[in-house]
Amino acid sequence: MPTYVYAVVKADGTLGASFEVFQRMTDEALTAHPETGEPVQRVPVAPQVQTSTDKGRFSKSNLERLGFTKYERAGDGVMEKKAGKGPDVISAD
């Protein structure tokens, strides 16, 4: 089951303290804090990807085969392509 992050909605509409809840993807989003009853809002969080245990999955050939492009920082505002299609260098200029 995924972990969802919720934040308490304060009286002025800003977000307050946050907490995590394990829920099925098919479950409805919470509207109230399970302990205090305060109104809550689900907070979008980027999914976590673990790469340290299976480096072969993200090899240059696999990335290219799956249609991904990988860039790495080469300096201040400059990214160099390491795998995939696209420009060889991307610059902030």
Per the prediction, the chain carries an average pLDDT of 87
Q: How far apart are CA 92 and CA 64, in angstroms?
A: 24
Residues 38 and 60 in one domain: no
For the chain, the domain total comes to 2
More confident residue, 1 or 90: 90
Whether residue 84 lies inside any domain: the answer is yes
Residues 9 and 35 in one domain: yes
Residues 8 and 37 in one domain: yes
Give the 3-state DSSP-derived string for the chain, with helices as H, strands as E and coil as C.
Answer: CCEEEEEEECCCCCEEEEEEEECCCCCCCCCECCCCCCEEEEECCCCCCCCCCCHHHHCHHHHHHCCCCEEEEEECCEEEEEECCCCCEEECC
Digit-coded pLDDT (tens) for 51-86 = 665 566 678 888 888 889 999 998 888 999 999 898
Cβ atoms of 42 and 30 closer than 8 Å: yes
Residues 11 and 38 in one domain: yes
Whether residue 50 lies inside any domain: the answer is no
Whether residue 49 lies inside any domain: the answer is no
Q: What domain range includes position 33?
A: 3-43
